[in-house]
A and B are shown apart, each in its own frame.
Chain A
């Protein structure tokens, strides 16, 4: 699904250049989930933007299903850190934004949109504006918006980090159910070890900036609700923690 080879990126600012990531190699299989974890400022957001085609890598290549990502590819959905909802649009307008931007007649997609709204438990909120919603509801609107385009790749930037503990767990489960149902390849960035271990089929650990890959872990027990409280879950967390520490 995703093949990235030797990608590097640096930001240019007032004649200085800040190296954000260097020499990242990735191979993410279709219909899997992948967690990218690293300390803040290590280039996680940058990497996600590159995978989503919002930034062009300075070096290296990214291929999604064999072709480079462009902003126009309809099967990649990106949910950014602050959810990217338009404050001047209602929930319904935000959810159908992708359809409208692609010039599709939203009336034809009524059933699909309704099903997604129900699935995301925001059916009652469609006339509200984002500022009237809680963080968890906003996140669900953002997920709903990306689902309307039926993406085969979902990229998320710290999707659950600004939510309170209970809401976070709830939305993590909502996400897992969606993933089991639609099987879209999902890559998400996080700085939470528990989140990476709970949701990531593969865990990619980045070193502190400029980010490079310290280690890639297969994490086959992911996505099991009952695993969260078992001792092997904590062992796995411990392992990720020590790899993270080694990379700082």
Chain B
């Protein structure tokens, strides 16, 4: 654990060094140096925190909804081949459609508030979650299912004793991938018709030509993403103990 933390710290230092080097070479106010950015980051905390919470709320609700609906859908498709055959063309056709382009439509129907942003995040990552979860459920060793069946398990017992835990690592992969996407979508939705969220904060600083504040917003958004990733990591370690047996020693 300690090793991991020091690893992270070293990585952060390297990233900041690269940032500093780049800003030094570009020597342009559009790309400020790290130190003034961090100083501003702490100076504008009062202002940033509200935006951070607004963004956090949207991204967690969006990702949460997509997982809550997408995981069961993926598991069912992975288990019931016939249903998968019927649904697969639908899923594959709608997967590559750039749903972000429907932002104007969503704004018109669901309004300018949080709902339209959450909906857009959820709908975009829903397909990622479904496809990844389905593939995880498909690749379960059939022997496991048979042997638990032979102990007398009914379908529900098979589901929560075998299929769900077997698919869990795959589900975490899906969540990890989609959190990255979700933050990108979040940023995009927050740049339109809203006065809250880190996306707004960044764009607003940009229009005011306050690049240092803009970068403070970027730092906040990165930290938001980083903490979500760490949270997912911790949740996976707790719920998939059997995969991390060597680490715990």
User: Is A132 part of the contact surface with B, judged by Cβ < 8 Å?
Assistant: yes
With A78-B150, A81-B143, A86-B161 given, can you name 15 additional A-B contacts, CB distance below 8 Å? A49-B146, A54-B150, A71-B152, A77-B150, A78-B146, A79-B147, A80-B146, A80-B150, A82-B141, A84-B143, A84-B150, A88-B240, A97-B148, A129-B242, A149-B151
A74-B152, A97-B151 given; A88·B242 CB < 8 A: yes
Which of A98, A131, A132 is in CB contact (< 8 Å) with B151? A98
CA distance A76 to B151 in the complex (A): 8
B245 contacts partner chain A, Cβ-Cβ < 8 Å: yes
Which residue of chain B lies nearest to A84 when distances are taken between CB atoms in the complex?
Answer: B147
B interface footprint on A75-114 (CB within 8 Å = 1, 0 otherwise):
0111111111011100000000110011000000000000
**Does A72 reach chain B (CB closer than 8 Å)?**
yes
Query: C-beta contact mask, B136-177 vs A, less than 8 Å → 1, else 0?
Result: 000001011011111111000100011001101000000000
Contact yes or no, A78 B242, CB < 8 A: no
Task: Give me the 4 closest cross-chain CB pairs, A-B, nearest first.
Answer: A84-B147, A78-B150, A98-B151, A88-B165
Residues of B within 8 Å of A97, CB to CB, are: 148, 151, 161
B147 partner residues in chain A, CB cutoff 8 A:
78-80, 83-84
In the complex, the answer to whether B152 meets A101 with C-beta atoms within 8 Å is: yes
Complex interface bits, A48-75 against B, C-beta within 8 A gives 1, otherwise 0: 0100111000000000000000011110
**Set A53, A73, A101: member contacting B148, Cβ < 8 A:** A101
A73 to B151, CA, bound (A): 8
Please state if B165 and A131 are interface contacts (CB–CB under 8 Å). Answer: no
B150 touches A76 (CB 8 A): yes
Beta-carbon nearest neighbor of A54 in chain B: B146
The residues of A that contact B149 with a CB separation of less than 8 Å are 54, 71
Indicate if the CB atoms of B161 and A52 lie closer than 8 Å.
Answer: no
Q: How far is the CB of A108 from chain B (nearest CB, A)?
A: 17
Interface of chain A, main secondary structure: loop
CA–CA, A71 and B147, complex, Å = 10
| Docked pose: A76 CA to B152 CA in angstroms | 10
| Docked pose: A176 CA to B240 CA in angstroms | 37
Contact partner, B242, options A53, A76, A81, A131, Cβ 8 Å: A131
CB distance from A151 to the nearest CB of B (A): 10
Tell me if B245 and A101 are in contact (CB < 8 A).
no
- How far does the Cβ of A166 sit from chain B's closest Cβ, in whole Å? 26
Interface residues of B (CB under 8 A from A): 141, 143-144, 146-153, 157, 161-162, 165-166, 168, 240-242, 245
Contact B157 A101 (CB under 8 A): yes
Q: Given contacts A101-B151, A129-B245, are A86 and B146 in contact (CB under 8 A)?
A: no
| From A73, A78, A101, contact of B161 by CB (8 A) | A101
Decide: A52 and B245 in contact? CB cutoff 8 A.
no
In the docked arrangement, what's the CA distance between A77 and B165, Å? Answer: 23
B-binding residues in A (CB < 8 A): 49, 52-54, 71-74, 76-84, 86-88, 97-98, 101-102, 129, 131-132, 145, 149
Asked whether, in the complex, the Cβ of A84 is within 8 Å of the Cβ of B146, the reply is: yes
Chain A residues, CB < 8 A from B141: 82
Pair A132/B148 contact, Cβ less than 8 Å: no
* Cβ contacts under 8 Å, B162 to chain A: 86
Q: Which residue of B lies closest to A98 (CB)?
A: B151
Chain A residues near B148 (CB, 8 Å)? 84, 86, 97, 101
Within 8 Å CB of A80, what residues of B? 143, 146-147, 150
Q: A146: nearest residue on chain B (CB-CB)?
A: B151
Bound Cα distance from A245 to B70, whole angstroms:
54
Q: Please report the C-alpha to C-alpha distance between residue A132 and residue B241 in the assembled complex, in whole angstroms.
A: 13
Q: Most chain-B Cβ atoms within 10 A of its Cβ — which of A53, A71, A88, A102? A: A88
Least CB distance, A171 to chain B, in whole angstroms? 18
Of B144, B151, B240, the most chain A CB neighbours within 10 A belong to B151
Bound CA–CA A211/B149 (angstroms): 25
Q: Which residues of B contact A73 (CB under 8 A)?
A: 152
A79 to chain B, nearest CB (A): 8
Contacts of B245 in A (CB 8 A): 129, 131-132
Closest to B164 in A: A88
* Cβ contacts under 8 Å, B151 to chain A: 97-98, 101-102, 145, 149
Residues of B within 8 A of A88 (CB): 165-166, 168, 240-242
Q: Give the CA-CA distance A168 to B144 in the complex, in Å.
A: 23
Q: Is the CB of A84 within 8 A of B242?
A: no
- Measured CB to CB, the nearest residue on chain B to A82 is B143
Task: A77 to B151: give the CA distance in the assembly, Å.
Answer: 7
Docked complex Cα distance between A225 and B144 (Å): 34
